[in-house]
Amino acid sequence: MNNEVLNHLPYKSSFRFVDHITELSSDGVVGDYTLREEAFFYRDHFEGNPVTPGVIITEIMAQIGLVVLGIYLLMKENEGGLAAGEPMFPLLTSTEVSFHKMVLPPQQVIVTSEKEYFRFGKLKCYVEMHDGAGDLVAKGMFSGIVKKVDLKNG
């Protein structure tokens, strides 16, 4: 099921921040991502001293902690009835994130998400990111909607 969920992620190439999903259930998700030194955002942030921007840390947390879980819940709701490659569009409605530590390339980060609720198509999760040593990098609440979109009929 993990690979099937990953096949529905709408992100490609340089903006997909999910390497592996190690745990996935109706209650939450655990996944990881390794930051790559050649990533586009390190060229100028900061020259000679690459630091992962907070917006990228937030995006990693959202992709693993909210979008992957949202797609999984939609698949369960539809009894696995999502066609391969069916367009899915995440709509992040709110975040509240606190940052505790810098992340540098080529660190691996682990994201853990616990579902607060999923009803009326809206998902709210408590999400934490830790580095490979287990130190807290960031934590926060994420809310959003993951929708199937029919591109032919808008």
CB-CB neighbours of 80 under 10 Å: 9
Distance in angstroms (rounded) separating the CA atoms of residues 45 and 150: 37
Phi and psi angles of residue 88, each rounded to the nearest 5 degrees, phi first: -125, 130
Per-residue burial over 30-68, b if 16 or more Cβ lie within 10 Å, else e, is bbbbebeeebeebeeeeeeebebeeebbbbbbbbbbbbb
Q: What is the pLDDT of residue 30?
A: 98
End-to-end C-alpha distance for the chain, whole angstroms: 28
Mean pLDDT of 110-138: 96
Q: What percent of the chain lies above the pLDDT cut of 90?
A: 62
User: By the 8 A CB rule, do 144 and 89 touch?
Assistant: no
What is the pLDDT at residue 151? 57
Are 110 and 136 contacting, i.e. CB atoms less than 8 angstroms apart? no
Banded model confidence at residue 75, pLDDT cuts 50, 70, 90: confident
- Asked if pLDDT for residue 147 goes beyond 70, the answer is yes
Superfamily of domain 2-148, CATH level 4: Hotdog Thioesterase (3.10.129.10)
Q: Which tokens go with 146? A: 């993951």
Residue 78, Cα to own-chain centre: how many angstroms?
21
Q: What pLDDT score was predicted for residue 132? A: 94
> Rounded to two decimals, what is the model's pTM?
0.90
On the question of a cis peptide bond just before residue 50, with omega within 30 degrees of 0, the verdict is: no
